[in-house]
Amino acid sequence: MGSGRVISWEKGKDGVLLTGGDYRVAIRVWAPGIVNIALCLPGEGEEALSPAVVLRPQAPQVQVEEESDHLLFLTGALYIKVEKENLGLELGDGRGFALQGRGLVIHGKEKRWSFAIRREEHFYGLGEKTGFLDKRGRRYTMWNADCYEAYNEGADTMYASFPLYIGVAPGGSYGVYLDNTFPTFFDLGKTEVHTAAFGCEKGPLNFFFLYGPSLREVVERYTLLTGRMELPPLWALGYHQSRYSYYPQERVLEIAREFRRRGIPCDAVYLDIHYMDGFRVFTFDRERFPDPRGMAETLKGMGFRVVAIVDPGVKVDKDYSVFREGLKRGYFVTDENGLVYTGEVWPGRTCFPDFAQGRVRAWWADLHGELVASGIDGIWNDMNEPTVLDAPGKVMPAHLIHNRDGRRVVHEEFRNVYALHMAMATREGLLKYRPGERPFILTRSGFSGIQRYAALWTGDNRSHWEHLRMSLPMLLNLGLSGVAFAGADLGGFAGDVGEELLIRWTQAGILYPFCRNHSEVDTAPQEPWAFGERCEAICREYIKLRYTLLPYIYNLFYRSARYGWPVLRPLVWEYEGDENVHLLFDEVMLGESLLAAPVCEPGRTVRAVYLPAGTWLDWWSGRPLEGGRYHLAEAPLEKMPLFVKAGSVLPLVGEAVRHTGEIPGRVEFHIFPGGARGEYLYYEDDGCSLDYKKGVYNLYKLSYNLAGEELHLHWEKLYGGFPRGQAEFRVVLRSREGIKTLYLNGRRVEGSLRLPGAPGAGA
C-alpha cells in the first residue's frame, strides 16, 4: 500500500509535474474550476485523452508555493494543497468548500485515488445506474454490457458508462470524471465507509476534478469538458410509439392511423429488427415492406416520422454486399492474428465493424444513404455495447483488436467507447444524406460524451412497478451526467404490462425527456388503447399534456444545449440548500417550474409530496400550497400530482395538436401569478434545421411585476434572427385574483393580451 513521496517537482506553463520514486503525477489547471490530475507509472508515457473529452486546456494562471511538507497551488477560486509525504490532496475554495484527499494508492495492479467523504455528503451522477438517487455506500463498475437478465436495483454494469460522480454536501459540490475507457470502478463509501475511491487496473489514472461549488456549476464544467447536446429536431420530443416489432408495413400504417383516429398525439413509429431481410443491417424484408418509401410518405402525410433500428453486427453471408465489402477491406474486428472475429447475434454468425477506424466510420455513414432514401427519419442503435449472444457475459473477448487509425487497441480498452464511435458514424451518415437537417439518433450503449451525438434509452427494463419507480432516479442521474436527452421504455420492455401500470407509467413517461412506449416481442399489447376506454382516455390526456408542455420542454433542451443543464431534474438541482430533498428520488422537476410526483405503486390513490420552500399551485385545480413541508396529494388513477411554482411563466401550446408539426403558431404564454415578479426567457427556432447555429432564432424575454392590483408586463425581443417565427403570442393569466389592471410595456391593456412576435415571412 501507499505510494511513496514526492521527490521533486517542476512547474510547467499550465501546471506542475511531481516526481516520486517510481511515478510521476501531472497536475494541470485546464480552466477555472477544472483541474486535471494524471498519474504516470514507469514505462508508461502520458496517455492520450479519450474521445469523451472535447475541451482543450486553457491554461489559466497558476501560482505555486513550496513549504517543507507540501506544495500549494493557487488558481482562481481554488487552492490545491499536495502533501509531499503521501500525495494527499486537499482542494478548497477558502469559502466553505474543502475536500481532503486520502492519497494515491497503488496496490498490486490496482491504482486509485480517494477523497474523504464529507459530513452529510451524497453522491450522484455515474450515468445509467439502477438503484436510488444517492449512490453513497455503493460500488460500481464502468463496463458496457447487456443487462437483460440482471436489470435490477443491485445491477453493477449497465449498457452505458459514465465514469463521473458528483459529491454534494453542505460545504459545496464537486465532481470527478475519470478519463479511462478500460473498466474502472467507483467505490463511494462501500469498502471504506468514509472514503470515496475511484480507480482502475488498466489504462491511465487520469482524472478531472470539477469544482462547483454548486451542483449546477459541476455539471456545467463536466459538460464543458465532455460536450453538450445539439438541439434535436422538435419531432423527437413528441410521443413515440414502438414495439418489437411492428410489421408488415400495413401494420405500421395501421398503428399510425389508430393514433389519429383516436385523437392521441404521436410523432414517430419505430421499425424494430423484423423490418430487415434476415436481420441484415441496411436491408428491408421486401415481403414485409414492399414499399418502405411509399409507407414513409403516407406516414409523413399524417405527421409521423419513422425511426429504424440499426445494429452493429453484420451477417456473415457471402451474398450480402455489406459483409463482402467489410471483409474485403479489413473493416471488421479481428483477433491478434488478424482473423476476423464472429459471434452469434440475431442474423446468426456476425462480424463487428471496427468503429475505431475513421474509414470504417466513413463507410458506415455511407451505408445510411439507402435508409434515408427509403424515408427513414431517425436511427436507433441497439446491441451496440456490442452484445454477442454466445460470448461469456455476452461480451466479445477482451484481447480482440481494434485499429485506432494505426494504433492497435485491445477490445478491453475500446469497448466502452464502441457505441460512441458508432454514433459518430451514424451522425455523419444522417448529416451527409440530409444536409442541414438535425439528426435524430437513439442509442442503447454509450460513454461520457455520447450526449453530443444521440439520445439514450435505458434498455430492457421490465413492466414491473419497481422499474417504473427506478426509471426516475436513473434518468435524474443521467441528466446530472450530461445526458439530458434520455428516457426509459414507457410501459416497460420485458413482461406484460397491465392497465394500471400503463396508466401510471404514461403519466410519468410524459415527463421523460425522451418519451417512447416500447415493449418486447410476445408481450401483451402496450399501445395506449390496449386496455379499453378508461386507460385510453387517461393516456390520451397525459400525452396531450406532453404536447401542451412542448414549447417549455423544447426551451429546456435549448438550455441543455447551451449550458449542459438537465431537462428532468432532481429536486436537489433546484434546491441544493434544502437537505430534505437530497435523497428524494421519486419526485422530479421538469425544468425550474414544474414538480411532479408520479405514483409508482399499485392501488395508491394518495401520496406524500414534499414541496420545497415557496408557493406551489396544484396544476389541476390551481389551488396554492405552501412549500417547505410535505403534503398529502390526492392521486386517483386519472391524476398524477403535478405542481407549478407560483410566479412561473410557461410557454405552452394553446390548442390540441396531433403532432409537433402543428405547434408553430400556437405558442402562448401562461402566467401563474405569485410573488412580486417573474420572468421567462423564450427561445424559438424552426425546430428542424441547423440554421440556428448560424443565428436563425429568436430570443424574447417576458417578465412581470405585481404592484398592488396592477400587473405590469414587459416584453422584449432580445435577439431576432428568425423572421419566420411566430407572429404573435397570446398571454393567459392563470389567475386574476387580486389583479385589477394590466399594463404591457407601460401601456394599459383592455381586453385580450397579445405580444408581437416575428415580422413574418415577408421580412
Residues catalogued as catalytic? 382, 385, 460
Taking the C-alpha atoms of residue 158 and residue 128, their distance in angstroms, rounded to an integer, is: 7
- The DSSP result for 211-248, as a single string, is E-SSHHHHHHHHHHHH--PPPPPGGGGSEEE--TT--S
Cis peptide before 213 (omega within 30 of 0): yes
Residue 458 CB, shortest distance to ligand MIG, in Å, is 9
| Phi/psi of residue 236, nearest 5 degrees | -70, -15
143-159: buried (b, 16+ CB within 10 Å) or exposed (e) per residue?
bbbbbbeebeeebbbbb
751: left (phi over 0), alpha (psi -120 to 50) or beta: left
Residue 182 CB, shortest distance to ligand MIG, in Å, is 25
Residue 460 CB, shortest distance to ligand MIG, in Å, is 5
Q: Residue 357 or 443: which CB sits closer to ligand MIG?
A: 443
Q: Residue 273 or 365: which CB sits closer to ligand MIG?
A: 273
Residue 659 CB, shortest distance to ligand MIG, in Å, is 23
Q: Residue 381 or 648: which CB sits closer to ligand MIG?
A: 381
Residue nearest to ligand MIG (CB): 244
Cβ 360 vs Cβ 327: under 8 Å: no
CA angle 654, 659, 664 (to 5 degrees): 50
Residue 20 CB, shortest distance to ligand MIG, in Å, is 46
Quote the distance between the C-alpha of residue 582 and its chain's center: 20
What single letter denotes the amino acid at residue 680?
Answer: Y
What single letter denotes the amino acid at residue 317?
Answer: D
Taking the C-alpha atoms of residue 690 and residue 677, their distance in angstroms, rounded to an integer, is: 35
Q: Residue 31 or 450: which CB sits closer to ligand MIG?
A: 450
Instruction: Return the bridge partners of 160, or none.
Output: 446
Q: Residue 14 or 382: which CB sits closer to ligand MIG?
A: 382
Residue 529 CB, shortest distance to ligand MIG, in Å, is 21
Instruction: Return the bridge partners of 568, or none.
Output: 590
Cβ 420 vs Cβ 197: under 8 Å: no
Give me the sign of the Cα torsion angle 115, 118, 123, 125.
Answer: negative
Residue 263 CB, shortest distance to ligand MIG, in Å, is 27
Cite the beta strand spans of 672-753 per DSSP E.
677-684, 698-707, 710-720, 728-733, 741-744, 747-749
| Helix-helix angle 465-480:499-509, to 10 degrees | 10
Instruction: Return the bridge partners of 90, or none.
Output: 81, 100
What single letter denotes the amino acid at residue 214?
Answer: S
Residue 491 CB, shortest distance to ligand MIG, in Å, is 12
Please name which of 289, 249, 288 lies closest in space to residue 269, comparing C-alpha atoms: 249
Q: Residue 459 or 570: which CB sits closer to ligand MIG?
A: 459
Cβ 127 vs Cβ 375: under 8 Å: no
By 3-state DSSP, what share of the chain in percent is helix, strand and coil, each rounded to 5? 20, 35, 45
Residue 288 CB, shortest distance to ligand MIG, in Å, is 15
Taking the C-alpha atoms of residue 241 and residue 253, their distance in angstroms, rounded to an integer, is: 12
Residue 478 CB, shortest distance to ligand MIG, in Å, is 16
Q: Residue 53 or 273: which CB sits closer to ligand MIG?
A: 273
Q: Residue 459 or 647: which CB sits closer to ligand MIG?
A: 459
Q: Residue 244 or 610: which CB sits closer to ligand MIG?
A: 244
| Contacts with ligand MIG, residue ranges (CB under 6 A) | 244, 272-273, 309, 382-383, 444, 459-460, 493, 518
Residue 521 CB, shortest distance to ligand MIG, in Å, is 7
Q: Residue 240 or 404: which CB sits closer to ligand MIG?
A: 240
- The DSSP result for 267-330, as a single string, is -EEEE-GGGSBTTBTT---TTT-S-HHHHHHHHHHTT-EEEEEE-S-EE--TT-HHHHHHHHTT
* Residue given cell 390513490 in the structure block: 605
Q: Residue 244 or 447: which CB sits closer to ligand MIG?
A: 244
Cβ 711 vs Cβ 749: under 8 Å: no
| Phi/psi of residue 411, nearest 5 degrees | -55, -35
